A and B are shown apart, each in its own frame.
Chain A
Amino acid sequence: MQIPDRAGVIVGYRVWRVIPGKWVDLSQSLSAQRWFQTWSLMEATVAHCPPHLQGDPSKPLLRRNHPHEAAPSFGCTCGLYARYEPIQEVHPLPYVVGSVLAWGRVVHHMDHSFFRAEKALPVAFVRPHRGGGVFPHLAEDKFFRIADLLGAEVVENPGELRTYSEVEVNKW
């Protein structure tokens, strides 16, 4: 059991990728931007530490019982990444920009303006733009179903995202 340093949650901002189409179930359709790490649509996503990410040679190679027990930690790159500030760049579908509430173990990288958290729940998205990605209509359809299942707000720009998320973080 972890002894909390403080109560509450923190807010972060990040980019996801929507997996379009019927061939991937809705529950598996919100993914990390750069590799296939599915985010839960029913509850908080919990970080785990795959052995190949472990940078600390003193760590065991495989934790069979509690794979996320120490994620994230100093000696690793694992965890759920988010930035402290809203992402201003426009990301066309299948990418979507949004915000999370994060909690649990949190490793802060202030110099690089991001943190890695143990648990996170998406709470809002910036309305995505159709771009050059494949199947933009299917991705858009999936996106709105994902947002609905998460109960996430869809806002129009990064400023609104910040305003909404900062109110939301104070409720917990």
Chain B
Amino acid sequence: MVKIYTGGSEKPEREEVVEPLVEPTPERRKERREAPAPEKEPEKTPA
């Protein structure tokens, strides 16, 4: 639930919860960098 702040001297404006499907870690970032790029389908040429 997004909350909107309504009082206080140090005014935060908005609170939200953001969650990735898979949490980034150094190891997962490295794995993704090293994974081969998905192959592109060859473009279809008109007959």
Contacts and interface: CB of A to CB of B under 8 A. Distances in A.
Given A3-B1, A151-B30, A44 B16 contact: no
B12 A74 contact: yes
Contacts of A7: 18-21
Contact of B13 (A2, A5, A108): A108
Contact of B17 (A42, A105, A151): A105
B13 A101 contact: no
B23 interface: yes
Given A108-B12, A108-B13, A42 B3 contact: no
B1 A121 contact: no
Interface string B4-44: 01001011111111111111111101101100000000000
B26 A8 contact: no
A105 B15 contact: yes
A43 B22 CA distance: 13
Given A4-B18, A6-B16, A7-B19, A150 B26 contact: yes
Looking at B12, B15, B17, the one whose CB has the most chain A CB atoms below 10 A away is: B12
B47 interface: no
A107 B5 CA distance: 10
Contacts of B15: 73-74, 105-108
A110 interface: yes
A89 interface: no
Interface of A: 2-10, 41-44, 73-75, 77, 101-111, 116, 119, 121, 123, 149-152, 168, 171-172
7 contacts: A5-B1, A7-B18, A74-B3, A104-B19, A107-B14, A121-B24, A123-B24
* Shortest Cβ-Cβ A-B pairs, 10 listed: A4-B19, A151-B26, A5-B16, A172-B20, A108-B14, A2-B17, A107-B12, A151-B30, A103-B18, A107-B15
